[in-house]
């Protein structure tokens, strides 16, 4: 049996990804001054059809004229099933050297990503970009349809430009005909009943309807070296709900979450950052395992618990993220 090692995606800090409608330039300066790790200017769902040409011009101008600092700049283009997509890609890639990533909506099959890769590559080649040492435009793909989730493992292997998979629960719910109009939140009827207690009573425990899809996307990302990102939480006035959704995603292993309103940025940054206690424990694990290696031991005790090589890998991942946050 042979095992293939997949390259990890370009290292980026993506705790918070702020969505900004491309049709509303007044929001661009505010986004540039925000604490978001990623700002993505949206040409798709946040823009009405008649406004898309002007929104595209707004986004091109914003990428070239605004000082975005060190943050990652992305644009969500229109879907491959629309006639807006090709002009989005051509204008952005030809005119915007500041662009870091394209966010691709409603990807259903690997060929969708291949088609975008081919177009971007041709533009870069025509302009003499994409050579060794030049910045290579990355892709973040939205898994937000039943077809996309059914093919998520193949999609994860579809392009060397691919950096991240993001779960979009809103369109996913529409695609699967889930009985909800809520984006990212729970459903009051989705849950389980407990066994009867001694007095014959049963309790209803609410569950997360997105868990299965999130786990499958997460596993595909980790198997093929990509970043798993959780999508939007629609009710931006429900801070507790956003925080709970972010914590669930972080506990699973997601690296960040979308913010559709600036008030969600701080919560995402906090949830997807390791705490001081976690960092301190990770350093103790690394130091203890280094000492164990010098003594020829495979496991040691740290804080009264046995740790081994699996623990050190987890600790190193955590410390790597802590270092990236410190440098941002």
More confident site: 318 or 87: 87
| pLDDT greater than 60 at residue 110 | yes
The pLDDT assigned to 67 comes to 97
Q: pLDDT tens digits, residue range 224-240?
A: 999 999 999 988 899 99
* Averaged pLDDT of the chain: 90
Phi, psi of 217 (to 5 degrees): -65, -45
- What DSSP state is assigned to residue 119? H
Q: Which domains does the chain have, with CATH numbers?
A: 16-196+205-273 (3.20.20.60), 277-327 (no CATH)
Distances (CA, A) of 252 to 25, 218, 228: 36, 8, 10
The answer for residues whose C-beta is within 8 angstroms of residue 199's C-beta and 6 or more apart is none
Q: pLDDT tens digits, residue range 131-148?
A: 655 678 999 999 999 999
Angle between helices 309-327 and 276-294 (to 10 degrees): 130
Residue 94, H or E segment? helix 85-95
What sign does the dihedral 289-295-298-303 (CA atoms) show?
negative
Confidence bin at 264 (pLDDT 50/70/90):
very high
Calpha distance 71→225 (Å, rounded):
22
Mean pLDDT (whole number) for 60-71? 96
Q: pLDDT tens digits, residue range 145-179?
A: 999 999 999 999 999 999 999 999 999 999 999 98
The pLDDT assigned to 1 comes to 34
Q: pLDDT tens digits, residue range 26-50?
A: 999 999 999 999 999 999 999 999 9
Are the CB atoms for 279 and 319 separated by under 8 Å?
Answer: yes
């Amino acid at each position: 049996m042979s095992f293939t090692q997949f390259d990890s995606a370009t290292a980026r800090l993506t705790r918070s990804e702020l969505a900004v409608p491309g049709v509303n330039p007044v929001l661009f300066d505010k986004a540039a001054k925000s604490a978001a790790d990623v700002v993505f200017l949206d040409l798709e769902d946040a823009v009405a059809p008649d406004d898309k040409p002007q929104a595209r011009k707004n986004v091109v101008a914003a990428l070239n004229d605004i000082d975005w600092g060190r943050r990652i700049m992305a644009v969500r283009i229109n879907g491959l099933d629309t006639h807006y997509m090709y002009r989005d890609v051509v204008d952005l890639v030809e005119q915007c050297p500041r662009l870091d990533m394209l966010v691709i909506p409603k990807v259903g099959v690997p060929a969708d990503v291949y088609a975008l890769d081919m177009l971007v590559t041709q533009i870069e080649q025509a302009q003499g970009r994409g050579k060794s040492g030049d910045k290579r435009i990355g892709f973040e793909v939205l898994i937000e349809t039943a077809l996309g989730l059914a093919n998520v493992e193949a999609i994860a292997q579809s392009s060397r430009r691919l950096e991240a998979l993001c779960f979009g629960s809103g369109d996913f719910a529409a695609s699967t005909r889930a009985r909800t109009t809520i984006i990212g939140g729970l459903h009051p009827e989705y849950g389980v009943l407990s066994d009867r207690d001694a007095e014959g009573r049963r309790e209803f425990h609410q569950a997360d309807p997105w868990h299965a899809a999130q786990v499958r996307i997460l596993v595909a990302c980790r198997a093929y070296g990509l970043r798993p990102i959780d999508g939007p939480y629609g009710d931006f006035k429900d801070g507790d709900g956003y925080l709970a959704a972010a914590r669930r995603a972080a506990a699973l292993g997601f690296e960040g979450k979308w913010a559709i309103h600036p008030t969600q940025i701080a919560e995402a940054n906090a949830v997807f950052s390791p705490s001081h206690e976690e960092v301190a424990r990770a350093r103790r694990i690394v130091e203890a395992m280094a000492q164990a290696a010098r003594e020829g031991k495979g496991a040691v005790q740290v804080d009264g618990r046995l740790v081994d090589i699996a623990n050190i890998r987890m600790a190193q991942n955590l410390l790597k993220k802590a270092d990236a946050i410190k440098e941002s």
